[in-house]
Amino acid sequence: MFPLYDPMVGWALLCAYGLLTFAVINKFTYRYDKDRVSFLLARRELTWFTGALSIAAAWLWAPGLFISTQQAYVNGLPGLFWFCLGNFLTLMFFAGFAHRLRKQSPEGFTISGHIKEKFGDKAHFIYQVEMLAIAVCAVAINLVAGATTVALLTNIDYNMSVVAMVLIALSYTFLKGYKATVVTEIIKVGVVYTVVGIIVALIASRVGNDPMLSISLDGISAGGDGSITSSFGWGVFTSFGIAAFIGHMAGPWRDNNFYQRAFAIKPNHIAPAYILAAFMFILVPLAMGFIGFVAAGSGIVVPEGDIFNVNLYTIATILPKEAGLLFTFAIFAGLISIMDSQMTSVANIVGSDYADRFNFKGRSRLAMFIVAAIGIAVAVSGFSIGQLFLFFSIMGACVFIPTLIAISFPQLLTGKGLFYGVIGGFIPAISLYFFGEVLYATLTGVILPPVIALAWSRKS
């Protein structure tokens, strides 16, 4: 079945995406590199609508395009439900806290900078380590998804795809900073939503007219009752659902991207932007989940090693080859945009926390290069999308509640308490993860850090 296209087709799509983004970015980013606020926060001028587009695009990672379909295919409705629930609720939950953070630090740049101001250097250090690690994971997981898609569809070498995607993202963020990311995120929303809508409509039409195609909400693993409340549904919850739900609820709290947007959006527009973004975002994983239900109901067989590419196998089996081209272009738009937003997030941390108004561009750009290089190294090392997804979900869980307390009730915490809470929860949680205990790792990552942080702060 694969590859569907000649490697020249893949290179042509990459070049087309690069040329499109460069043309639009050059039109809308004039003089956005002249000072620190312009380069790192796009002059703090995003409105509720452009902010919502930016947030929704920043939240739409590879899992929204790949794991949503895989869970619907393998675990049916329970898998898709637990993947989507936290994904949808978290941005609305985060909205009020983002607004409160901006009121506390109206001229702030990063959450780590806010933590340093309120809690000192030790807490600042642990937050920087966590935020930078998440950025590397984000670049890597989207590289794995994008390069796998390109390699599968066009037979372009996987490692060459990884490097090409990074170079495209790096080229314009290096020159224009965060404003370039906002532009590519708007392009991403337009391209991804249009293509996904077309593909879902075409598949639905085929299902309605072809008796060989059908929809199954049970997935291929249920073997009977695949409902959310069944024993199978409980198994999905303990092996995947709880980590996904808590990981998603912790998502904005662990990722400087979403604090960067809180500091870039106009103050009174922050909460509406995050709430609207939740409704914008959820449409894509629900649509991609529909493709998984069709694959399960139609008996489409996906090799175990390609299980996260159910969407590609379904599109290639059911639709004309041109649909695969559209989807590949949407993957480029979606995943390269995530990489550039993570690069500008790292630039935001380094350019504000470790630079002044005279040397911020040089240090920010160096940070982009470093995170890109490490992201490439992780992407070519053999980790799967699922492994990276669960790893950063558990890592993010460790800063979720401590950060919530730090923003809402800062008087309850000290810098040492925050430091030892995060690190004291992370070590046992990640150890349990490596032993395969996803449920206990997630619960440990959520419960232990705030308990240690509050106890240590009270002791101090």
Asked if residue 396 belongs to a domain, the reply is no
- 110 neighbors 350 (Cβ within 8 angstroms): no
Asked if residue 293 belongs to a domain, the reply is yes
Q: How far is CA 401 from CA 94, 124, 310, 317, 452, in A?
A: 12, 16, 34, 44, 11
In this structure, what CATH number is given to the domain that contains residue 179? 1.20.1730.10
Domain count, the chain: 1
Asked if residue 286 belongs to a domain, the reply is yes
Asked if residue 386 belongs to a domain, the reply is no
Asked if residue 174 belongs to a domain, the reply is yes
The residue type at 80:
L
Alpha carbon distance 351, 160 (integer Å): 30
Its domain, for residue 207, covers 7-378
Asked if residue 176 belongs to a domain, the reply is yes
How many residues does this entry show for the chain? Answer: 460
In order along its 460 residues, the chain shows pLDDT tens digits of 677 788 998 899 888 988 989 889 988 888 888 889 999 999 999 999 999 999 999 999 888 999 999 999 999 999 999 999 999 999 999 999 999 999 999 999 999 999 999 999 999 999 988 888 888 888 888 888 888 888 888 888 999 999 999 999 998 888 889 999 999 999 999 999 999 999 999 999 999 899 999 999 988 987 767 788 888 889 999 888 988 898 889 889 989 999 999 999 999 999 999 999 999 999 999 999 999 999 999 999 999 888 889 999 999 999 998 898 899 889 888 888 888 999 999 999 999 888 776 678 888 999 999 999 999 999 999 888 778 877 878 888 899 999 999 999 999 999 999 999 999 999 999 999 888 888 888 889 999 999 999 999 987 6
Omega cis (within 30) before 402: no
Asked if residue 337 belongs to a domain, the reply is yes
The residue type at 351:
G
